[in-house]
Structure 1
Amino acid sequence: MTTIADSKSNAIAVASSEARPAPPTRANSIISVLRSAAGLLLAIAIVWIVFSILTDGVFVSDRNLTNLMRQTAMTAMVAIGMLVVVVQGEIDLSVGSFLSLCVTVVAMIEVSGVVGVWGTIAAALGMGILVGLWNGTWVARFGLPSFVATLGGLMLFRGLALALSGGRTITGVSDDIRFFGEAFVTGPALWAFIAVAAIISLWPLRKLGEDSQRRRTLVRAGLGFASVVLLGWATLSYRGLPMPVAITLATAAVISWMLANTVWGRHVYAVGGNRDAARSAGIPITMHLMISFVLIGVLTSVATLMLVGRLGSAPPESGLFLELNAIAAVVIGGASLYGGTGTVSGVLLGALLMQSLANGLSLLNVPTAYQNITSGIVLMLAVYIDVLSKRGGKLFSRP
């Protein structure tokens, strides 16, 4: 006899597996490799080697790698929140404009001196919650397509930021806030951080004897441990681990664990995999969509503190194209814009690849216009690979 609980479990399983690819073919296998962590690491390695040669080794110097990690952290922080939204089949185009608004408000609070550092942090996080509720209400409650709702937010928040700042850069950020962008983790704290990261990277090996995909697990653990070794070399040979990187990696570890090991995480993938099946299973879709938009709002607020702390000011052009960079990191990292798939580790690698291209082109003094062209081409190719995976590797769609 089938119980109600069994029916719900079956519906959730159907929802979570709806977005699984078709039976493997040679084309699908190639696409799978391109979208895998190994494929991303290979692409990053090629980019690093090319830029290292073109810059006479400057690109892979410990100073530039630390710089690169700091630049990647802000995009990765927002992209982690974007992943949760995209996995559920939605999108948020307002994050760049919201970051500009939040940067402006944080700088204005700092200049006023009315509240201390904790008041500034609370104001930033509060804005993230409010903006998340705003976007979530339009999408989950009123049924507006997320593309339209957040596109309106993109224009609204950018306009508010310009109105408040008057189009001028606001300076006068305190050292307490600059801590989030300029500080380094050093000494015993850094060694402890690296040790914990190494343990996390090797943690999947604990069930190696029970795992039917041993080779995949070994490769994943090996690549993860190699990444930790590279992180340790870059940080120990320079000034330490930049605070934005430490915050981003800690956030990534928490969100990754929650997506993989909690009911909330399973429901997130189920909502994106098949919303009708998720609804039949009794999953509160409205609540999950609201949570996802609040989460990306809060993580964007954290990215705001990183940016203001690093710059020590609030430029009016802050956050320009941030939403596109975050979406690119998510898609390049293996997530599907159709929903139902994606990992935090893939997002981190996608953000690193995008920022590596930008950093290397900047070192070569390539004009910003051509950097944007490169980013656009990479994003289009990543989305095209996603589309190929959905139609069985067929290069062209039928009219």
Structure 2
Amino acid sequence: MKSNTAETNTPAIAAPAPEAKAAAPNRASSIISVARSAAGLLVAVALVWIAFSFLTDGVFVSDRNVTNLMRQTAITAMVALGMLVVVAQGEIDLSVGSFMSLCVTVVALLEASHLVSPWVTVAAAIGMGVLVGVWNGTWVARFGLPSFVATLGGLMLFRGIALALSGGRTISGISEGIRFFGDAFLSGPVLWVFLAIAALISLLPLRHLNDPARRRQALVRAILGFASVALLSWSTLSYLGLPMPVAITLVAAAILSWMLTNTVWGRHVYAVGGNRAAARSAGIPITRHLMTSFILIGVLTGLGTLMFVGRLGSAPPESGLFLELNAIAAVVIGGASLYGGTGTVPGILLGALLMQSLSNGLSLLNVPTAYQNIVSGIVLMLAVYVDVLSKRGGKLFVRP
């Protein structure tokens, strides 16, 4: 009888062991989830700002530098918004930096000729974005090339054409009409109206307070959104106003966020990246969605080009260098997965701000560009590693 009792009790004692082993990955997954959330990203940005403010004796958070930081972030964020749609469908675009170099060169040549109006230049930048999007989309969606290979080819192709057109020289002579996109400010009543609309949009999640399942998330999103608008108001009202690149990027972000969360197209974007076979079985037009995503990132990069040229007033031959890596890093840091199916616009904006804050702060500390690239590379690798961790339940190592 003792022997039988021992045998029956043994499984009862041993049973909790697997649950205990499984608890660690679950806790790790929860920590990763919080770190990649909007709240976690805001904390990370705040820590970076505090650190650089201390190291630069307050220069980092001065009105002038904050305005400069917002302009720099706007360009990276604009491209990252397009990268989000591409990555959410399980693809990638490595050609955006080289395309910006080509687009910058063409825009500068048109401006330097003084033969066309600024509106023609704007149309040319957007039109080039459409053509490059069709080019990349055709190779990926129609011919079936992996997007990594197709856009890597574009990276070399577009950079080569840009250097051939510019002769490796900086082109100047940008008109005031194009400078407007990168150098102007919203101020006065227009700025107040813009900030009021932004505040109202930030409070939209509160409409879900009556839904118990979404109440907590809605409250957190509303608080974070309103806090972001308050920070934006403080930084703009205390200086010259809201930089035009920031205003353009925020408008584009608001439109894209609404499309991704409230339209059939947005649901299909995540469906294609989440499970392409299931999406195809459900009748979702995969080819059309992939083409649209590459056209969208091309157009947004074209707009980013106008902001870049307008801010500098010239077109240096190294324009767009490493832009694709900064955009990808912003997307992954912002919570999107390189495996597809996830990602939010607020996360991407915060990811771009974090990346640009690191670059800006290191520049203020006179850290050489080589070491800045080292830091950016490490941040990108860590961001992708965190993405991988989230997919395998928080396990640090691959099982041999």
TM-score bin (small chain): over 0.9
2:112·2:174 contact (CA, 8 Å) conserved in 1? yes
- Partner of residue 134, structure 2: 133
- Partner of residue 10, structure 1: none
Distance in 2 between residues matched to 1:188 and 1:206, nearest whole Å: 28
Give the Å deviation of 1:235: 0.2
Distance in 2 between residues matched to 1:23 and 1:340, nearest whole Å: 26
1:246 aligns with 2:247: yes
- Partner of residue 374, structure 1: 375
Task: Give the stretch that moved more between structures: 286-295 or 197-206.
Answer: 197-206
Give the Å deviation of 1:23: 12
Letter in 2 for 1:205: L
For residues 1-399 of structure 1, what are the structure 2 equivalents within 5 Å?
25-399=26-400
Give the Å deviation of 1:66: 1.0
2:334·2:350 contact (CA, 8 Å) conserved in 1? yes
Letter in 1 for 2:32: I
Letter in 2 for 1:327: I
Give the Å deviation of 1:220: 1.4
Distance in 1 between residues matched to 2:53 and 2:142, nearest whole Å: 50
Distance in 1 between residues matched to 2:214 and 2:288, nearest whole Å: 35
Report the CA distance shift for 1:211/1:294 in structure 2 as closer, same or farther (over 3 A). Answer: farther
Report the CA distance shift for 1:59/1:344 in structure 2 as closer, same or farther (over 3 A). Answer: same
Give the Å deviation of 1:210: 1.7
- SS at structure 2 position matched to 1:25: helix
Q: TM-score, normalised by structure 1?
A: 0.93
Give the Å deviation of 1:171: 0.6
- SS at structure 2 position matched to 1:82: helix
2:25·2:395 contact (CA, 8 Å) conserved in 1? no
Distance in 2 between residues matched to 1:253 and 1:23, nearest whole Å: 38
Letter in 1 for 2:273: G
Distance in 1 between residues matched to 2:122 and 2:93, nearest whole Å: 23
Gaps of 5+ in 2: 1-22
Distance in 2 between residues matched to 1:348 and 1:40, nearest whole Å: 10
Give the Å deviation of 1:215: 2.1
Q: Identical aligned pairs, as a percentage?
A: 81
Letter in 2 for 1:123: A
Letter in 2 for 1:93: L
1:8-47, CA deviations, whole angstroms, 9 ceiling, x for partnerless residues?
Answer: xxxxxxxxxxxxxx99821110010111001100100100
State the Cα RMSD in Å: 1.2
Following TM superposition, the consecutive aligned residue runs of length 4 or more in structure 1 with deviations greater than 4 angstroms are none
Distance in 1 between residues matched to 2:25 and 2:63, nearest whole Å: 41
2:202·2:225 contact (CA, 8 Å) conserved in 1? yes
Task: Give the stretch that moved more between structures: 283-292 or 362-371.
Answer: 362-371
Distance in 1 between residues matched to 2:283 and 2:114, nearest whole Å: 49
Distance in 2 between residues matched to 1:40 and 1:376, nearest whole Å: 19
Give the Å deviation of 1:211: 4.1
Task: Give the stretch that moved more between structures: 24-33 or 218-227.
Answer: 24-33
Gaps of 5+ in 1: 1-21
Letter in 2 for 1:70: R
Distance in 2 between residues matched to 1:23 and 1:131, nearest whole Å: 46
Distance in 1 between residues matched to 2:398 and 2:232, nearest whole Å: 42
1:61-112, CA deviations, whole angstroms, 9 ceiling, x for partnerless residues?
Answer: 1221111101100000000000000000000000000000000000001111
Look at both structures and tell me which one has the larger radius of gyration over its CA atoms.
2
Report the CA distance shift for 1:211/1:196 in structure 2 as closer, same or farther (over 3 A). Answer: farther
- SS at structure 1 position matched to 2:203: helix
Give the Å deviation of 1:216: 2.2
Letter in 2 for 1:160: I
Letter in 1 for 2:239: Y
Report the CA distance shift for 1:396/1:187 in structure 2 as closer, same or farther (over 3 A). Answer: same
Letter in 2 for 1:308: V
- SS at structure 1 position matched to 2:319: coil
